[in-house]
Amino acid sequence: MSASPAPEFGSLAEIAASVRTGATSARAILAQSLDRVRELEGDLHCFNEVTIEHAEADADAVDRMVRSGRDPGPLAGVPVALKDNLCTEGIPTTCSSKILAGWLPPYDATVVSRLREAGAVAVGKTNLDEFAMGSSTENSAFGPTKNPWDTGRVPGGSSGGSAAAVASGMVPLSFGSDTGGSIRQPAALCGIVGVKPTYGVVSRYGLIAFASSLDQIGPFTTTVADAALALEVIAGHDPMDSTSLDRPAPDMLSTLTDGVSGLRVGIVDDFLTDGSESSDAVVLAAAALALAGAKVDHVKIPDLLLGLPAYYLIAPAEASSNLSRYDGVRYGLRVDGPDTETMNSRTRGQGFGPEVKRRIMMGTYALSAGYYDAYYGQAQKARTLVIRAFDAAYKNFDVLLTPTTPTVAFPFGSKVDDPIEMYMCDLCSIPSSLAGHPAVSVPFALSSEGLPIGVQVLAPALGEAVMMRVAASLETAAAREARGPVTP
Amino acid sequence: MSEEERLITPDEVRHVARLARLALDEDEVGRYAQQLSALLENVDAIRRLDTADVPPTAHPFPVENVLRADFETPSLDRDPVLAQAPVAESNRFRVPRILGEAP
Amino acid sequence: MTEYETVVGLEVHCELSTATKLFCGCRNAFGDEPNTNICPVCLGLPGSLPVINRRAVELALRIGRALNCSARRSIFHRKNYFYPDMPKDYQISQYDEPINVDGWLELPDGSRVGVERAHMEEDTGKTTHVGGGGRIHEAGYSLVDYNRAGVPLVEIVSRPDIRSAGQAKAYVDELRSILVATGASDGRMEEGSLRVDANVSVRPMGSVEFGTRCEVKNLNSLRSLERAIEYEVERQIALIEAGERVAQETRHFDEGDNSTHSMRSKEEANDYRYFPEPDLTPLVPDAGLLAAAAEGVGPMPAERRHRLSELISSSSELATRRDGSTDQVVTVVDLGLDELVHGAVVAGADPRLALARAANEAAANPEAARQLAPKVFADLLKMEASGQLSATQSKEVLAQLMDKGGDPAKIAKRLGYEQMDSSALGAMVDDVIAAHPQEWQRYRDGDDKVAQFLSGQVMKASRGQANGKLVAEAFASRRES
């Protein structure tokens, strides 16, 4: 599938400008979005819930503000889709799990509030792997999402619905969450831009937790500039999140088009495989940066390979604890029993899918008496080694390049029965998650089958500006046909 | 991997499932024992790492003393919250009888 | 016959007197309508995150300081277990890096009990069991109120230094006084702001190793605490004497028959799978926190007892006396009357007399006594010491002072407590001598014991108005002559 004309929205800045000046109405933009949703949603299943009435009300509010001479904000009228693990007050938030089916949060996530304050119009809640655990969105309790480039293939995960919504032209902006690659990998598989910010730059308050020391919220867009704008809107300190950094949002836009002259770019050899088209794309990308004036070199950082096994101990451990609260007592599914303990077990046994159960058990085991030191304890030390390895590399480089993920979009069912194969999708994205560093996937090339390949740019903590600058440069060299939106 | 070589036995799976309050049928116990053993094998490199003198990282960044002032903020309205409860009674959350005392 | 030693360690949970909960801004209040002080955080709703209450940290540091602990850099851990009163099915607590360690507490009798740690953690909700006999596993179902979930607690763990039920009671009493004195908690066992669990074991006297200990829960009063310990000690000794092993277990105290019962045994011990809380940052007791912890906190009961004792014993005539002044010191400090005594002494009153009158008489009305001006108290005491007023008269004037206020001299005058002039006194003494010749003879022959009888007769005749000291002197001088 190559890019064929999908109705384009224009850039986020353009949408907002035309709404703010009254040249277009938020309702009109919303209508364009909803038309596209109606056209394709039946096939693609990007959404768990399309919130038409709420969206129309929000759009009306934006238009009213404009008419009364007030500024609705930098994302005025922009239709957005929200991953269904972001709490939205009064709107079902399910994490694509039976255990939370129909749950109505009594509050909005901080990011959701900030988007509304910026004038964005939420169109609906998108599908994901259950509780954000997966790399294909096949683990959703409500059925998978299809990749707009080839509907026999996965869009990636866990934020598959959000990625497909942008990649199919339903919305120009969506949000996902990234714990080990859950924004970047679907972005790569869907030919769009996806950013994971530095840990702590975006508030997690209202993001339903998977792994607390790794989770971050980030945007999906069709361009790097749009992603920078969106990230600037949602980022910045939140007193409701103790792990949120006490600083304002990073400024990426000012230096976005400064070019890469003199920047030192490192190709991480440990993530390249001979003969892999994803690896080839990275080499091509590096060459493009060199042409643009960057100093490019290869670098070996073997300790980064500790990332995958460390992650698959740390993330499940934290998740096993974060998911304990789903016990049938206060909200969500309850499967009855003669006593509370039995009720808990039946509820969770039936309410969680197999991947979630697998990870809960893995995590419980890794933390359990007698095993803590060998597994969780060791994994947290391996994490230190990953951080030290990055720190050493960043003494000599400003950014690093890797494939975003080892493969292109794979057919449904091809990995879902082999958890380890599925986990390998995160090989290149996990190390930066463990370190808390920012990372971005930029659609760069098409595979020989015509499927998008993403290149990942990594930067040190709080290096969003230089990272997006490099990403913007890559984007200008990228194959235009490798980038969505597309029509399935 | 043979039964004896498995890193996690079915008994251990049952134990972990009990700790995690996950009701599993016997098929699932067997299947998860197999899958979890394979996973543990894959992460075994971590166990064997020499980490003397390497401190664990609990947080990516060393921030300390994030605190808030002791001022009241509005609580939630009780009714919509209880409306979400699977079973509520007398303005409380109702659960079946509890077998043990709290630890 | 083997003699056994009682070994007790106490775990005391106390609720902190903050305005809001430990991790959210919901009100920290007792007795409100169920589930009205809840929010996404303390209800553990998906997506919620905790943020530490600064005041709770200050109070925790205050408690640690009052218990002579070292304040440390600390982190929170998650203690994972399932229970309906726990909204997240894990409790945010502190594990191996707690905020206060290695302290001690001094009891009124001077003995010390070590405090291993005093750490912070969040409280759980409250469960009510419905149906059945009220015992939890007989109930039909349970109802949960989360108002209390997230209330800040400090858990104070003593070393196993306690050697009797009485000492355990004294420990909890003293701890409560300290908590109230620091303002950190109101320490009410009946309201649940102070909860005590006891770890009880026995061992042969002289043994260094500890015996198997049992944890006893459901101790809702000091009385229960004492009785539970006594019962446990007896039970364990009986088992050992019968050649059986004491099982390490948790037992429930039954208020009905003052016994302990084994709780329904779990198939396996709890594995809490502690790991560092990723949603919170470490706590470092920096200058700001430590200053706030020390601010406005007066001396602790032990220190006040020491100061008062020094006041008394520095009065030279008392250094050798064993006269129950220790008990008086404890009472006076307990009632908050030590400042009154100090103030009176500064204004010239006799220390021992001030202490005695405060412990015995003023104690009858402590609230009024706390309003008494030290100088006024001193004036009265001086009148008594000089012989102007008898002890009886002095006590009456004090009672009037506390009841209505005023001036001691004026009150004495109004009550007709004029000093009896020496000739009237002498006449009374002579009358008594004349009326009791045999007793007088015995006294003259050197029998001092009969002096009390003789003096008593004068006091009776004078209806308590005579000054005892002067009466004794009158008899003594007549004997000489």
pLDDT value of position A196: 98
Q: What SS3 class is residue A481?
A: helix
CATH of A12-263+395-482, one of 3.30.565.10, 3.90.1300.10, 3.10.180.10, 3.40.50.2300: 3.90.1300.10
Chain B partners within 8 Å of C286 (Cβ): 65
Chain C partners within 8 Å of B77 (Cβ): none
Q: Average of pLDDT values for A113-139?
A: 98
Chain A partners within 8 Å of C22 (Cβ): none
Residue A100 distance to chain B (closest CA, Å): 11
Tokens of A42: 């039946």
For C286, the closest chain B residue by CA position comes to B65
Q: Does B43 touch chain A (CB under 8 A)?
A: yes
Q: Is C398 in the same domain as C431?
A: no
Q: Is C306 in the same domain as C442?
A: no
* Cα–Cα distance measured from residue A170 to residue C70, given in angstroms and rounded to the nearest whole number: 60
Q: Average of pLDDT values for C383-399?
A: 88
Q: Is C162 in the same domain as C228?
A: yes
Q: Per residue in C81-119, pLDDT tens?
A: 999 999 999 999 999 999 999 999 999 999 999 999 999
Q: Per residue in C441-454, pLDDT tens?
A: 998 888 888 888 88
Q: Is A28 or A416 the better-scoring residue by pLDDT?
A: A28
Answer with the one of C414, C432, C459 that is the final residue of a domain.
C414
Q: Is C365 in the same domain as C282?
A: no
pLDDT value of position A413: 96
Q: Average of pLDDT values for C421-435?
A: 84
Q: Per residue in C22-78, pLDDT tens?
A: 999 999 998 899 999 999 999 999 999 999 999 999 999 999 999 999 999 999 999
CA atoms within 13 A on the CB side of C311: 29
| CA nearest to A285, candidates A474, A22, A24 | A474
Residue C160 distance to chain B (closest CA, Å): 20
Q: Average of pLDDT values for C118-146?
A: 86
Chain C partners within 8 Å of B64 (Cβ): 281-284
DSSP state of A339: S
The single residue of A182, A203, A244, A473 carrying the catalytic annotation is: A182
Q: Average of pLDDT values for A373-385?
A: 94
* Cα–Cα distance measured from residue A411 to residue A383, given in angstroms and rounded to the nearest whole number: 32
User: Mutating which of A321, A323, A365, A380 best tests the C interface, going by the most C Cβ atoms within 10 A?
Assistant: A321
Domain boundaries, chain B: 10-47
In the residue annotation, A158 being an active-site residue is answered as: yes
Given a cut of 50, is residue C141 above it in pLDDT? yes
Q: Which chains reach chain C with 3 or more Cβ–Cβ distances below 8 angstroms?
A: A, B
Percent of chain C at pLDDT exceeding 90: 65
Domain boundaries, chain A: 12-263+395-482, 307-382
| CA nearest to A269, candidates A232, A289, A298 | A298
Work out how many CB contacts closer than 8 A connect A with C: 94
Q: Does A222 touch chain C (CB under 8 A)?
A: no
pLDDT band at residue A5 under the 50/70/90 scheme: low
The single residue of A18, A83, A162, A429 carrying the catalytic annotation is: A83
Chain B partners within 8 Å of C142 (Cβ): 94-98
Chain C partners within 8 Å of A340 (Cβ): 84, 142
CB contact under 8 A, B57 and A380: yes
Instruction: Kindly report the backbone phi and psi dihedral angles of residue A324, in degrees, each rounded to the nearest multiple of 5, phi listed first.
Output: -65, -30
In the residue annotation, A83 being an active-site residue is answered as: yes
Q: Per residue in A168-227, pLDDT tens?
A: 999 999 999 999 999 999 999 999 999 999 999 999 999 999 999 999 999 999 999 999
Q: Is C202 in the same domain as C266?
A: yes
pLDDT band at residue C267 under the 50/70/90 scheme: very low
**Which range has the worst mean pLDDT, A327-336, C18-27, C436-445?**
C436-445
SS (H, E, C) chain C: CCCEEEEEEEEEEEECCCCECCCCCCECCCCCCCCCCCCCCCCCCCCCCCCEEHHHHHHHHHHHHHCCCEECCECCEEEECCCCCCCCCEEEECCCCCCEEEEEEECCCCCEEEEEEEEEEECCCEEEEECCCCCHHHCCEEEEECCCCCCEEEEEEECCCECCHHHHHHHHHHHHHHHHHHCCCCCCCCCCCEEEEEEEEEEECCCCCCCCCEEEEEECCHHHHHHHHHHHHHHHHHHHHCCCCCCCCEEEEECCCCEEEECCCCCCCCCCCCEECCCCCCECCCHHHHHHHHCCCCCCHHHHHHHHHHHHHCCHHHCCCCCCHHHHHHHHHHCCCHHHHHHHHHCCCCHHHHHHHHHHHHHHCHHHHHHCCHHHHHHHHHHHHCCCCCHHHHHHHHHHHHHHCCCHHHHHHHCCCCCCCHHHHHHHHHHHHHHCHHHHHHHHCCCCHHHHHHHHHHHHHCCCCCCHHHHHHHHHHHHHC
CB contact under 8 A, B54 and A357: no
Q: Per residue in C221-248, pLDDT tens?
A: 999 999 999 999 999 999 999 999 999 8
Q: What is the CATH number of the domain that holds C434?
A: 1.10.10.410
Which residues have CB under 8 Å from C235's CB, separation 6+? C260
**H or E segment and range at residue A12:** helix A12-20
Given a cut of 80, is residue A315 above it in pLDDT? yes
Residue type, A102: G
The DSSP line for A91-132 is B---TT-GGGTT---SS--HHHHHHHHTT-EEEEEE--SGGG
Q: Per residue in A237-274, pLDDT tens?
A: 999 999 999 999 999 999 999 999 999 999 999 999 99
Look over chain A and give the mean of its residue pLDDT values, rounded to a whole number: 96
Residue C261 distance to chain B (closest CA, Å): 13
Q: Is B59 or A417 the better-scoring residue by pLDDT?
A: A417
pLDDT value of position A3: 40
Please state, in angstroms and as integers, the Cα–Cα distance from residue A107 to each residue in A92, A94, A130, C42, C43, following that order: 11, 14, 21, 14, 12
Q: Does A106 touch chain C (CB under 8 A)?
A: yes
Given a cut of 80, is residue B5 above it in pLDDT? no
Q: Is C444 in the same domain as C464?
A: yes
* Cα–Cα distance measured from residue C10 to residue C165, given in angstroms and rounded to the nearest whole number: 11
Question: Strand C112-122 and strand C100-106: pairing?
Answer: antiparallel
Classify each residue of B48-73 as buried b or exposed e, where b means 16 or more C-beta atoms within 10 Å of its C-beta.
Answer: ebebeebeebbbbeeeeebbbebeee
Q: Per residue in C174-194, pLDDT tens?
A: 999 999 999 999 888 888 899
Q: Is C354 in the same domain as C473?
A: no
| CA nearest to A394, candidates A466, A309, A488 | A466
Q: Does A204 touch chain C (CB under 8 A)?
A: yes
pLDDT value of position C84: 97
Residue C67 belongs to domain spanning: 4-294
pLDDT value of position A360: 98
Which residues have CB under 8 Å from C277's CB, separation 6+? C50, C75, C76, C77, C78, C92
A395: left (phi over 0), alpha (psi -120 to 50) or beta: alpha
For A329, the closest chain C residue by CA position comes to C84
Total domains present in chain C? 3
User: Mutating which of C74, C77, C93, C143 best tests the B interface, going by the most B Cβ atoms within 10 A?
Assistant: C143
Given a cut of 60, is residue B33 above it in pLDDT? yes
Chain B partners within 8 Å of A423 (Cβ): 42
CB contact under 8 A, A349 and B85: no
* Cα–Cα distance measured from residue A390 to residue A396, given in angstroms and rounded to the nearest whole number: 10
pLDDT value of position C265: 56
Nearest to A212 among C43, C51, C278 (CB): C278
pLDDT value of position A442: 98
**H or E segment and range at residue A431:** helix A430-435
Tokens of C458: 């004068």
Answer with the one of C278, C294, C310 that is the final residue of a domain.
C294
Global confidence as pTM:
0.90
pLDDT band at residue C469 under the 50/70/90 scheme: confident
Q: Does C281 touch chain A (CB under 8 A)?
A: yes
Residue B63 distance to chain C (closest CA, Å): 6
Q: Is C228 in the same domain as C313?
A: no
Q: Could you tell me the strand order of the sheet in which B88-89 lies?
A: B88-89, B92-96, C141-145, C126-130
